[in-house]
Amino acid sequence: MGERHDAVEVITAKRDRGELSDSQIDWVVDAYTRGEVAEEQMASLAMAVLLNGMSRREVARWTQAMIASGERMDFTSLSRPTADKHSTGGVGDKITLPLAPVVAACGVAVPQLSGRGLGHTGGTLDKLESIPGWQASLSNDAMMRQLEDVGAVICAAGAGLAPADKKLYALRDVTGTVEAIPLIASSIMSKKIAEGTGALVLDVKVGSGAFMKDLDRARELAETMVALGADASLPTVALITDMSTPLGLTAGNALEVAESVEVLAGGGPPDVVELTVALASEMLAAAGVEGDPAATLQDGSAMDVWTRMISAQGGDPSAELPVARESTVVSAEADGVLTRLDALAVGIAAWRLGAGRARKEDSVQAGAGVEIHAKPGDRVSSGAPLLTLLSDEPDRFERALAALEGAVEISDPGTSYDPPPLILDRVTA
């Protein structure tokens, strides 16, 4: 296992703005995973990293040490190349659902190991679990078979991938160290590198509904993750995309599945289509495969993959999706142009309606969430519906409405408003 160290020596080195050696990093990640380094010691080290940062070498070594804590998957036996996408999370971000089938329809296999939602950003698995019968958990053998047969799988990541990350993630959550860019980057990239995908495209969100609120921090995170991919010989590209307003016209679980199916049927909101096509194009290019993602949405081939992908995991793609029992409408208070619909506020409202969870063990309501009737740039008239709030429990409406206080801005009818571009930047190694 290399040199022995002790936790206090590693903590004080980083506290005093030193660079940790390879053997210090290897030791502390391994010893923490085994329980030899106590939670409070790792909490102290995480805070030192948050305050003092890490060099590119340190982050790369830390990432490798997290990967070494568990198993690695290998998709090289498949008959086609693989590519995956990771989004840093946002409101209404259902892009994985149409994206995986589109990319698979173009000839690249997509092993999308996803997580559950926590807080105001929805989890892909929670969305898909609103489809009757659909199962999130697959054995590695079943996953390999489905990738070969169908070309796409969206499932829960097994506990064997980067167990150090699982432990550290929970600790960061309760110690105010979630925001440390070296720790965010190594958390995401350790799982994706261990997963064994052949190429990776990152969607780094920026804006009120995203984890990163400003462009400089989002760019720093994107550059750090792209560098980690390069250092691990994983071709990685990042798009920095706007999350000041929700993506699409829904935030919730079943609501977002229905919207994704509209996109796969050749319709759906223009922003969801634009981002799906942009990310698919990046994934195909990174995997070295030519294809036309926009055409596969129009010709039904992506929808065919969706149907097979959902069915392969026990879901009924033609089943009626759950619908919330109660609803209430938020109306426009004036005539004019909608100039702001705050993503964070909509995300928190959806969460309070029952679409998200506050603790890992909470269950979510399949039908709860927010339907959006106007987006920034649209003309609205006084009294017209802006949002519909949906929940099975009407006593949730009051707190959801409170979350939306000040979230909507309507400017006078003469205002000309151009929404920001959806794709703000592209980062490559």
Fold assignment, 326-411: Aldehyde Oxidoreductase; domain 3 (3.90.1170)
CA angle 85, 87, 90 (to 5 degrees): 150
Strands 152-156 and 110-114, how do they pair? Answer: parallel
Average pLDDT over residues 344-368: 90
DSSP-assigned beta bridge partners for residue 337: 379, 411
Q: Is the pLDDT of residue 410 over 60?
A: yes
Question: d(Cα 180, Cα 221) in Å, to the nearest integer?
Answer: 10
- What distance in Å separates the CA atoms of residue 404 and residue 121, rounded to the nearest whole number? 16
Highest mean pLDDT out of 171-175, 298-302, 360-364? 298-302
pLDDT in tens, 91-134: 999 999 999 999 999 999 999 998 776 666 778 999 999 999 99
CATH topology of domain 84-158+190-319: Pyrimidine Nucleoside Phosphorylase; Chain A, domain 2 (3.40.1030)
Inform me whether the pLDDT recorded for 53 exceeds 90: yes
CA distance 274 to 419: 14
Residues with active-site annotation: 86, 165, 172, 187, 191
Average pLDDT over residues 74-97: 95
Mean pLDDT of all residues in the chain?
95
Q: What is the pLDDT of residues 313-336, one digit of tens each?
A: 999 999 999 999 999 999 999 999
Residue 3 confidence (pLDDT): 74
Mean pLDDT of 354-363: 82
- The domain limits of the chain are 84-158+190-319, 326-411
Provide the β-strand partners of residue 411.
337
Measuring CA to CA, which residue among 312, 349, 356, 359 is closest to residue 327? 349
Whole-angstrom CA distances from 235 to 62, 73, 228 are 19, 17, 10
Q: How confident is the model at residue 194 (pLDDT cuts 50, 70, 90)?
A: very high
Least confident of 72-76, 166-170, 220-224, 329-333: 166-170
Give the largest CA-CA distance in the chain: 70
- Confidence band, pLDDT 50/70/90 cuts, at residue 363: confident
